Amino acid sequence: MRYLGRTSGLLLVGALAVGAAACGTTDPASQERLPPIRTTIATTTTTTTTIPPGDVVYVVQRGDTLGKIAERFGVTVIALVERNGLASADAIEAGQRLEVPEAKLVIDDAAATATSAP
């Protein structure tokens, strides 16, 4: 019995040595520690908006309505709502930036002469 135990022990040690050599664990290069993998990279993100020629970005002022803005630039309220993806014509607030499609600044001559008259 004792002899069988020693033989099976030698066979087991021999099998482990062969398995270790096959896996490459005895190779010195496989024992080297690798540097940690960098998981985060610092990046800078820049957002740019390209506005087609003739379009304008208008910053909504206190008291503005889409009707007033549309009239000022000679466009329709519907065009402003669609271009800016607004939920409704009332969904604007001061400081908001609106793209005005194919804007043409309309100057009311009557209002301009009324304010400049002495």
Distance CA 93, CA 86 (A): 11
For residue 70, what pLDDT is reported? 92
Distance CA 20, CA 40 (A): 35
Nearest to 96 by CA among 66, 74, 72, 117: 66
- CATH class of the structural domain 56-116: alpha beta
Per-residue pLDDT of the chain (118 residues; tens, 9 = 90+): 444 444 444 444 554 555 555 555 677 777 788 777 776 666 776 665 565 666 789 999 999 999 999 999 889 999 999 999 999 888 899 999 999 988 776 666 555 554 444 4
